[in-house]
Structure 1
Amino acid sequence: MMRRFSSMNLIFVFLTLMLAPMLAQSKPVWIDVRTEAEHRQNHIDGDLLIPHASIVAQVTGQFPDKDAEINLYCRSGNRSGIAKSALERAGYTNVKNKGSIADARKARDL
């Protein structure tokens, strides 16, 4: 028995196929790679704190999608650069060093 699709069904299927890649994309992840003490003194609400020394273990557990957009920052950009390199060695393809916490605020108009 052959099933017939109505034009509404075809439109729904078409829109689903067209929108699926856009819906699958998640929001960019922002990670502060400084120490807990630095974070207590000054931080951006809502951003994750993952010290640079444990970045790979924690990111792979929380963000298994290796193409996720991950933005890193620290006090000056040095530790976020180290963390970026470590994540890239682990296979992450969309990691950005945003520099300092002030730079991260400026990038998002906070």
Structure 2
Amino acid sequence: MRSLAAAALLFSTTLFAGEAEITAAVDALQSPETVLIDVRTEAEFAEGALDGAENISYEHIAEQITTLAPDKDTTIVLYCRSGRRSGIALDSLRALGYTHVINAGGYKELKDALELQD
């Protein structure tokens, strides 16, 4: 019974953490200085992307980030399809010393949240 309760708590905490990241991303994107990066493949990006997003694959973010954000204090919002690849990219950027990086999760969820903002 305890393991069931622990699993439910972990699941609900994960849900709220995801909501908090999307809220933080939407708030950050109100600033024109925020860099929005889609870490999906070029093919996924071509099928649809958020306005103003740059496309850098999560596999190449460490090599290419300085072209978009040379200042490590720049606010960066990352998204992919589900949040997994943007999470990997977030870890890469934090390892490089970037301090204001937000994993907004999935494209559809972030798109929906931004549309609600309008």
Matches within 5 A, 1:33-44: 33-44=39-50
Q: 2:85 aligns with which of 73, 76, 79?
A: 79
Normalising to structure 2: TM-score of the pair?
0.67
4+ long deviations beyond 2 Å: 106-110
Paired residue secondary structure (1:52): coil
Q: 1:59 aligns with which of 41, 58, 65?
A: 65
Tell me: higher relative CO, structure 1 or 2? Use CA pairs within 8 A at least 6 residues apart.
2
* Structure 1: gaps of 5 or more residues: 1-24
Opposite residue 42 of structure 2, the aligned amino acid is: E
1:30 is aligned to: 36
Identical amino acids, percent of aligned pairs: 45
Q: Number of residues paired by the alignment?
A: 86
2:110 is aligned to: 104
The structural deviation recorded for 1:26 is 5.7
What is the CA–CA distance in structure 1 between the aligned matches of 2:64 and 2:95, rounded to whole Å?
A: 15
Residues 38-85 of structure 1: CA deviation (Å, up to 9, x unaligned): 111121232100110010111123211101100000000000000000
CA contact (8 A) 2:38 2:54 kept: yes
Higher helix share: 2
What is the CA–CA distance in structure 2 between the aligned matches of 1:102 and 1:26, rounded to whole Å?
A: 22
* Structure 2: gaps of 5 or more residues: 1-30
Q: Alpha carbon RMSD of aligned pairs, Å? A: 1.7
Normalising to structure 1: TM-score of the pair?
0.71
Opposite residue 97 of structure 2, the aligned amino acid is: G
CA contact (8 A) 2:35 2:69 kept: no
Opposite residue 63 of structure 1, the aligned amino acid is: A
